[in-house]
Chains A and B, each alone.
Chain A
Amino acid sequence: MPKPSSRPIAWRLLDGAEAVARRLWPRPLRGQTGYLLLTPAVLLVGLLVIGLGYMADYSLRELDLSTYRLVDEYSLTNYQILWDRPVFTRVFLRTLLAAVLVTVFSLLLAFPYAYVMVRTGSSRLRKLLLIALFLPFFIGQVVRAYGWLIILGSEGLLNSALGAIGLGPFDLLYNYPSVIFGLIQYMLPFAVLMLVPAVAAIGQDVELASEGLGANWMQTLWFVVLPMAKPGFIGAGLVVFTLTLTDFAMPEILGGGTSDFIASSIYDAFFQLSNFGLGAAIALVLVVIGSVLAVGILALVGTGTLGMTNPSSRAQARRRGRS
């Protein structure tokens, strides 16, 4: 056994750490180590729970117009206002419709993308498709929306091109379709990345078998590939749907006030009307709608690719839990 001083410095540091750990976290607590490791994350996420608590509190308190403060008594007045004013119903329906449209179109576009990326034999093409996917993902929503402003604006690329052949100019911006379009291209990377694991899990031999048995490619796609990729569609669809439902920047920048989403209403209630109670009420309704839809879909069709652990580790955990 070498003298302690001749051992590497890293070992001595680790031994020190070990001693400290033993002092701070004695053996009887060892079974609880998992909870200890989780504590910082649980506390951080707790910030959101606290925030939600404040929102719930505010949403039940009416704005006193003489002092511009929220009254102390609880009531459902803010929710009543939401229910009574058709403008809010319109905003909610507009946002829900957008979420449905964007989800459908993103999945339609994302599936071929994911499929080609997984199936292609060329590694350079695969890399190119990956880069085309990640670059916009990393550039951020505001900058991308700005790019579309340049393209779709009245003196933008598209109108200039159309003008050159004697068409237009068209008002391509500040309307509902431009918001939907901007959202679809914004959601595309999310959708593809969520679909890819499911597509990659489908063996090419299964497709070959299907075709060998006489199915044409559309039948193979419809009866074999798409059903097998279902978990990916659920995961991707859910992510795109909830992200669209709660989006703020695209409707603001590309909609220019013509196609406000729920998030815009929340923002306006807080910062234009200074009615924190009303804003919090809209926010809570949004949370409830989003959660109910998400939980409903998950309960109906399973967790898809959203499960955080893979099946083997889940099985391991179950085994360990039992022993």
Chain B
Amino acid sequence: MTGARAKAWVLWSIVVLCVVTLSLPTLIIIGASFTSGDIIRFPPDGFSLRWYEELASERAFWDALWRSFYVSVICTVLSIPVGTLAAIATVRYRLRLRRTLQIYLLLPFTIPLVVSGIGMMIFFGEIRILGQLWPVGIGLCVINLPFMIWAVSASVNSLDPELENAAANCGAAPVHVFFTVTLPAVTPGVITGGLLMFVLAFNEFLVSLFLVDSRTVTLPVQIYNNIRSVITPDLAAVSVVYILFAVVAVWLLDRIVGLEIFLRSK
């Protein structure tokens, strides 16, 4: 039985190490945001909500938060129909060059983000839409689109095509079949994908860095810009906004599809 104990010991020490490393920054940020001092140090200077009060009165923060929300909504609203249709097409329809098309649709993951970002910056500049906010949403949609397609593909894969055939056999025309059989069946995938798209757009940094300017700066870019100058606790308070947001997202994901869905074998 010593073998089993050694195994458990090795596995558990690594898992605990991982959990601590994953969670420590989050916990530290939450703690640091409540300091009453002007800089972050340990042990903290005392407890206060002053950094949250300062944050609440800071116009730049609310503007950046609103812009991040706006681009995330554009990204999500665009990705839902585009990704869903693409997933259905790649899984259900007979396509010539299926393999090539699938690889093409993975380009957002294989092209480095820094290259995608600068490439879109150049193109948006050429067609004179750079500096507006909505193209940022489109850019974020492009770079994360494979997540949406992947999430919906999983749902389409588990939908028995005979159900659609049965509906068609009973006289439902194609659009009817799509809206009454296919779409309801893939809805969990669409919701998962939409949630992922929203969250990823909300905290996307690198591509946003290239597509925004000083008037359209989004929240992650603003945090990054401030990190580079000086580390003050107000940034910790901003970061807590992200942590809260992530908690809600994880909770929603768990409620809607269950986190365990990611544990299934293929």
Give Cα A161–Cα B227 distance, bound, in whole angstroms.
Answer: 23
B60 at the interface (CB under 8 A from A): no
Cβ B15 vs Cβ A112 within 8 A: yes
Q: A41-B85, A155-B39, A309-B90 are in contact. Are A246 and B28 (CB under 8 A)?
A: no
Please name the residue on chain B nearest to A125 by beta carbon: B15
Q: State how many angstroms separate the Cβ of B103 from the closest Cβ of chain A.
A: 9
A54 cross-chain contacts in B, Cβ below 8 A: 119, 122-123, 126
Q: A160-B43, A246-B112 are in contact. Are A313 and B223 (CB under 8 A)?
A: no
Cβ A139 vs Cβ B203 within 8 A: yes
Cβ A189 vs Cβ B174 within 8 A: no
A residues 37-62 in Cβ contact with B at 8 Å: 37-38, 40-42, 44-45, 47-52, 54-55, 58
Please name the residue on chain A nearest to B113 by beta carbon: A246
- Name the prevailing secondary structure of the A interface residues: helix
A100 at the interface (CB under 8 A from B): no
Please name the residue on chain A nearest to B225 by beta carbon: A142
B170 at the interface (CB under 8 A from A): no
Give Cα A99–Cα B169 distance, bound, in whole angstroms.
Answer: 54
Give Cα A110–Cα B235 distance, bound, in whole angstroms.
Answer: 30
A112 cross-chain contacts in B, Cβ below 8 A: 10-11, 14-15, 18
Give Cα A55–Cα B247 distance, bound, in whole angstroms.
Answer: 39
Cβ B113 vs Cβ A157 within 8 A: no
Cβ A249 vs Cβ B25 within 8 A: no
Question: Could you say which of A37, A141, A279 contacts B88, with CB atoms under 8 Å apart?
Answer: A37
Cβ B25 vs Cβ A138 within 8 A: no
Cβ B141 vs Cβ A44 within 8 A: yes
Cβ B105 vs Cβ A14 within 8 A: no
- Chain A's interface size range is 35 or more
Cβ B102 vs Cβ A245 within 8 A: no
Q: A47-B142, A142-B205, A308-B102 are in contact. Are A246 and B114 (CB under 8 A)?
A: yes
Give Cα A47–Cα B136 distance, bound, in whole angstroms.
Answer: 12
Cβ B82 vs Cβ A153 within 8 A: no
Give Cα A285–Cα B142 distance, bound, in whole angstroms.
Answer: 22
Please name the residue on chain A nearest to B79 by beta carbon: A44
Cβ B28 vs Cβ A157 within 8 A: yes
Q: A160-B42, A249-B205 are in contact. Are A143 and B242 (CB under 8 A)?
A: yes
Cβ B262 vs Cβ A290 within 8 A: no
Give Cα A146–Cα B222 distance, bound, in whole angstroms.
Answer: 13
B249 cross-chain contacts in A, Cβ below 8 A: 138
Q: State how many angstroms separate the Cβ of B204 from the closest Cβ of chain A.
A: 8
B57 at the interface (CB under 8 A from A): no
15 inter-chain pairs at a CB distance below 8 angstroms, sorted by A residue, are A37-B86, A37-B93, A38-B90, A45-B105, A48-B143, A50-B119, A51-B119, A54-B122, A116-B12, A200-B263, A246-B112, A246-B114, A308-B90, A309-B90, A313-B157
Please provide the 4 A-B residue pairs with the shortest distance between their CB atoms, ordered closest to farther.
A51-B119, A147-B25, A34-B93, A140-B203
Given contacts A54-B122, A126-B263, A150-B231, 19 further A-B contacts (CB under 8 A): A30-B174, A33-B174, A41-B145, A45-B145, A48-B119, A109-B14, A116-B11, A129-B15, A138-B250, A139-B243, A143-B242, A144-B25, A146-B29, A146-B236, A149-B231, A155-B40, A263-B113, A286-B115, A321-B94
Q: Which residue numbers of A lie inside 8 Å of B, CB to CB?
A: 14, 17-18, 21, 30, 33-38, 40-42, 44-45, 47-52, 54-55, 58, 108-110, 112-113, 115-118, 126-127, 129-136, 138-151, 153, 155-157, 160-161, 185, 188-189, 193, 196-201, 216-218, 242, 245-246, 248-249, 253, 263, 266-267, 270, 276, 279-280, 283-284, 286-287, 290-291, 294, 305, 308-313, 316-317, 320-321
